[in-house]
Amino acid sequence: MRAAQTGPAASRATPVVLCFLFRETPDGGREVLLGLKKTGFGTGRIVTLGGHVEPGETAAQAAVREVFEESGVTVADADLEPAGSIEFMFPVRPDWDMSTTVYRTWNWTGEPGPSAEIAPAWYSVDAVPYGQMWKDSAYWLPKVLAGDYFAAAVTLAPDNECVGTVVFS
């Protein structure tokens, strides 16, 4: 098991962002915005908003752009709360390795709507559909939902679906 990547391996990993939007419900509960992935990496899974950091962008700028592109919602950089980082490693497909910055926010403008890539929907934080998500989500997403800050290294199994290992540091 590799620890969080440093050096040449880290520079090879694709920089990506994930951004979790939260809201309070009228009955005092909390919901998180997730969505059905319609195209690209993860098609058919429930995912959060996010994607690649483009050249010249900061991770925060990428999160703002991706949230808008995928849901039509506007988030300000200043409203992004760092939630952690995840190094995703695909030993049989190292070109898929990702160095991920995770954000959460309670502030945005607009109503989430579908895009060509995502069909967004609100889920109770007590009823997240882990069975429809990437299997690794069940390890680290509870930390995001709890408001924790974390760093994780996730190594996928040879099938690129199952989790080989998850190490929190």
Domain boundaries, given as residue ranges, for the chain: 8-168
Give the pLDDT of residue 4.
42
Question: Which of the four CATH numbers 3.90.79.10, 3.20.20.70, 3.40.50.300, 3.30.70.1710 does domain 8-168 have?
Answer: 3.90.79.10
- Sequence-distant (≥ 6) Cβ neighbours of residue 97 within 8 angstroms: 5, 9, 12, 13, 14, 87, 88, 89, 90
Tell me the average pLDDT across 69-88: 98
Tell me what the mean pLDDT of segment 23-33 comes to.
96
Distance CA(75)–CA(83), nearest Å, equals 16
**CA 101/CA 83 separation, integer angstroms:** 8
Task: Flag whether pLDDT at 5 surpasses 80.
Answer: no
The DSSP result for 41-87, as a single string, is TTTTSEE-EEEEPPTT--HHHHHHHHHHHHHS-B--GGG-EEEEEEE
| Per-residue pLDDT at 11 | 56
Task: Label residue 12 by pLDDT band (50, 70, 90).
Answer: confident
Phi-psi region of 59 (alpha: psi -120 to 50; beta: other; left: phi over 0): alpha
Please say whether the beta carbons of 128 and 32 come within 8 A.
yes
Segment 70-76 mean pLDDT: 98
> Would you say 75 and 67 are in contact if contact means Cβ atoms under 8 Å apart?
yes
Residue 123, H or E segment: strand 118-124
The contacts of residue 50 (CB under 8 Å, 6+ apart) are 16, 17, 18, 19, 63, 66, 67, 70, 100
pLDDT given for residue 7 in this prediction: 40
- 61-77 average pLDDT score: 98
- pLDDT tier, 41 (very low <50, low <70, confident <90, very high otherwise): confident
Indicate whether 40 pLDDT > 60.
yes
Residue type, 28: G
How is residue 158 annotated by DSSP? T
> pLDDT band at 17, cuts 50/70/90?
very high
pTM for the whole thing?
0.91
